[in-house]
Every structure is written in structure tokens, then in C-alpha cells.
């Protein structure tokens, strides 16, 4: 099991707990291995060269095989070059600010922009930056977009006063629950589990969202029976309330969001179309 996320983080822990639960339930031996970097494309490149016999799978995000592959001009690493197995959770990406600060509501943000106050906006991926830029264009705001390393980098910047607001893809759950930070808005097309009253960014004028999923994939050409067996195993342990994997995704991501088979294929097709439209819009502006 290749894992496209740094050791010890929430995504890595999710993958390892799923592996452990599958081992316990099915008796399969799963060997987790970190293959990080380049937005998951390093993992995708290595996984693509592995045999399509069910002995190699990888955990990435849907963005890896859609926006990231397109943006990096890597057509050989897009969705159709792999076998999607199962999604695990949906993104809980929010527009995050320090609670009680000068930017902890959209009204405060727009008022500050109108007053000429520079707004430092933290992003961790090119996709986040493109959505930020276009959101600003729709609202007449010229955000100072600052690229950092991961959602943790955004939160460190907020805490240190180096950033005013920024996108965070789920790692903000604990500080939001503890009252340190606030989700100003949901960057996805559903309400955030921790902040159900936060507006959607589409309510704030954005034509684009940061929808997506954590997911497992295998090399292209995997036998349909093997695909079903692996996808069903992931789904079963994630949806089982007795597993630690289930408890983790409920706590940190609002619960499992498992898609397999045709439903997962259709979702990835839609995310690819969204990515193509976003890249075209960002380039045109």
C-alpha cells in the first residue's frame, strides 16, 4: 500500500488504520509505504509501473489524477490510466481564519478589502490558488496569495500572524472544535461537518469548488473481480463502527464517503471536467 502523504498525518493514519482493519478482517498482509511529493504524482508514476494483479495499491486524492495531472502536463497520470478502487472520505476543505480575529467572517474580509487592507491568503496547491484568484476576481478583491506547505503550513501561518486566511482540507477540525479557528466558508459543495452554518463559497460568488475525495487506486487493467474485492474490503472496514478507521474518519472528516465501481468512475469524470474548466478559466483571466 503506497501512501501519498507524510508519515504521521491524518491521511497517513487513515490509510494505515484501513490497512490494519483489512488485515484483521481478511487476513491479508498489507505493507504500507510512503511515496510522497508532487501532489501525489510521484506515487501515481510509481504505481503505474507496478503489476495490475492486486498486489500494489495506492492512496491519493482525486485531485492527483485530475487537476494535478492536467496542470503538470502529465496526461499519462490521469484517471483513465488507473483502476479506481474506493473513495474513503470527502474533502472537508474550509476557508479558515483565527476566531475573534479581523478576518473571521466573510463580511470582515470584504470590508477589509474595500478599506484597502492587504489580505494574505494561504494556499497549499495550485488548484487552491486558482480558485482563490477567481474568487477574488468575482468579488473585486486582489488577494495576496501565499503558497505554503500543506494545510498545516496554512494553520501555522495563521497562528504566527503571517497569513490572514487560507484553505485547509480537514486538518482544521480540531482547532475549529476547540474554538481556536473558524471555518469562514465551505470550499466544497456540501456543508462542513464542524461548521454546518458556514456559507458555501458558491454563495460568495465562486463559480468553482474544491470538491474531492481521498481514494485508493490500482494500476490500469486490474481484473474486475480483484477490483471489486479490494473496493468492497475498503468499504466494509470503513463503514464498520467497530473499527478504528471508522472512528478516525468520523472524528476528522465527518464520516465515511465510500464510492466504488460505476459511482466512483462517474464522480471522477465530473471532477476531471471541473478541473478542465477551472484551468481554462484561470488561464483566461
**pTM for this model (two decimals):** 0.91
11, 43: one domain = yes
Across 55-79, average pLDDT: 95
44, 87: one domain = yes
Spatial distance between the Cα atoms of 261 and 131, rounded to a whole number of angstroms: 29
CATH of the domain at 42: 3.40.190.150
Spatial distance between the Cα atoms of 92 and 210, rounded to a whole number of angstroms: 9
Q: Where are the beta strands (DSSP E) in 46-81?
A: 58-61
> Contact 205/135 with Cβ under 8 angstroms?
yes
- Show which of 156, 171, 204 is a domain's final residue: 204
- Show which of 188, 204, 220 is a domain's final residue: 204
pLDDT tens-digit readout, 251-278: 888 899 999 999 999 999 999 999 999 9
CA 74 to chain centre: 19
Across 175-184, average pLDDT: 96
222, 85: one domain = yes
- Show which of 204, 238, 261 is a domain's final residue: 204
Q: Where are the beta strands (DSSP E) in the chain?
A: 2-3, 33-34, 58-61, 82-90, 94-98, 120-123, 144-147, 165-168, 181-186, 213-219
179, 274: one domain = no
184, 198: one domain = yes
101, 178: one domain = yes
80, 38: one domain = yes
200, 239: one domain = no
- Domain total for the chain? 2
Decide: helix, strand or coil at residue 35: coil
> Contact 21/54 with Cβ under 8 angstroms?
no
CATH of the domain at 160: 3.40.190.10
C-alpha cell at 138: 468575482
76, 148: one domain = no
Give me the pLDDT at residue 209, please: 95
Give me the pLDDT at residue 213, please: 95
pLDDT tens-digit readout, 85-107: 999 999 999 999 999 999 999 99
98, 82: one domain = no
DSSP class of residue 178 equals T
Q: Distance from first CA to last CA of the chain, Å, rounded?
A: 40
83, 215: one domain = yes
Q: Cα torsion at 95, 100, 106, 111 (round to 10°)?
A: -130
84, 132: one domain = no
Residues 6+ apart with CB under 8 A from 225: none
> Contact 54/230 with Cβ under 8 angstroms?
yes
Q: Which domain holds residue 176?
A: 94-204
Amino acid at each position: 500500500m503506497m501512501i501519498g502523504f507524510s508519515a504521521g498525518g491524518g491521511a497517513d493514519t487513515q490509510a494505515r488504520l484501513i490497512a490494519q482493519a483489512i488485515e484483521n478482517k481478511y487476513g491479508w498482509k498489507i505493507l504500507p509505504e510512503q511515496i510522497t511529493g508532487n501532489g501525489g504524482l510521484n506515487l501515481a508514476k510509481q504505481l503505474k509501473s507496478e503489476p495490475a494483479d492486486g498486489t500494489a495499491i495506492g492512496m491519493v486524492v482525486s485531485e492527483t489524477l485530475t487537476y494535478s495531472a492536467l496542470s503538470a502536463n502529465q496526461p499519462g497520470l490521469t484517471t483513465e490510466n488507473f483502476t479506481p478502487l474506493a473513495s474513503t472520505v470527502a474533502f472537508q476543505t474550509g476557508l479558515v481564519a483565527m476566531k475573534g480575529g479581523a478576518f473571521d467572517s466573510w463580511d470582515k474580509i470584504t470590508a477589509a478589502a474595500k478599506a484597502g487592507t492587504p489580505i494574505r491568503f494561504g494556499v497549499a496547491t495550485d488548484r487552491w490558488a486558482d480558485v482563490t484568484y477567481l474568487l477574488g476576481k468575482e468579488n473585486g478583491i486582489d488577494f495576496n496569495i501565499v503558497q505554503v506547505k500543506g494545510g498545516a503550513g496554512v494553520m501555522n501561518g495563521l497562528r504566527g500572524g503571517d497569513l490572514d486566511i487560507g484553505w485547509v482540507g480537514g486538518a482544521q477540525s480540531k482547532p475549529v472544535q476547540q474554538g481556536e479557528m473558524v471555518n469562514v466558508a465551505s470550499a466544497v459543495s456540501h456543508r462542513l461537518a464542524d461548521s454546518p452554518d458556514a456559507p458555501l463559497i458558491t454563495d460568495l460568488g465562486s463559480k468553482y469548488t474544491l470538491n474531492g475525495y481521498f481514494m485508493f487506486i490500482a494500476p490500469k487493467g486490474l481484473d474486475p473481480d480483484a477490483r471489486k474485492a479490494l473496493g468492497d474490503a475498503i468499504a466494509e472496514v470503513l463503514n464498520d463502527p467497530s473499527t478504528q478507521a471508522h472512528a478516525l474518519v468520523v472524528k476528522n472528516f465527518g464520516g465515511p464517503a465510500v464510492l466504488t465501481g460505476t459511482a466512483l468512475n462517474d464522480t471522477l469524470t465530473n471532477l476531471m471536467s471541473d478541473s478542465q474548466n477551472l484551468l481554462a478559466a484561470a488561464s483566461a483571466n
